[in-house]
Structure 1
């Protein structure tokens, strides 16, 4: 009698745990990625605007992302601009906006499609197409 109840119960619990694993796994990955992004300062290691390398324009900058949706552009150790950012895991994008930024930081404004990431070294590559049709390519490395 116990075997007849226990085996089906065990199967049901196994199915529930297996079907829930993907969601749990996705949440763990999302949490780890958020921690990676927010625990590091990031520097521009490559910025290409419509085929022109403008990486040097960002040499004095680092960027700090926070889990409350804020991002700071820091120039030579001093906070210069505050903006917002939001990731979208399903579309593999990050939207960023620095409303008061001037060049070159305002180039970060928009929806960036993540094209590549790495964990060791920590980097992210992304692409944005402007309203004018210019393609921007960006590579950030953790500091």
Structure 2
């Protein structure tokens, strides 16, 4: 839907379609933030109730909690900023005169969260060796 709106705006510059596109981004960002909060929170509390106290459990609690908090916060910030820019023309995100503001906005809502999530989840689980697999000597 977003690509269709961008294509239409590229052909015909229409303020109503631009507003619809911004509202679409607000709704999608809010649903994503809510999804991270609900499902990440459920997983966090499920792991917290897990009876065995171990290093792996604490590490997973930290990972799930951190990723949930980062993603929820960033999607909520994006939802708020795009919502403000949709209804207040002075708060436009298209600040071509101020590339530093663009850099700050995209760094805080896109780049930094992605880097943090990648850093938190940097270790891959060990490979499982199948019981049927035997190495050739």
Higher RCO structure, 1 or 2 (CA under 8 Å, sep 6+): 2
Q: Which structure has greater helix proportion?
A: 2
TM-score by length of 2: 0.32
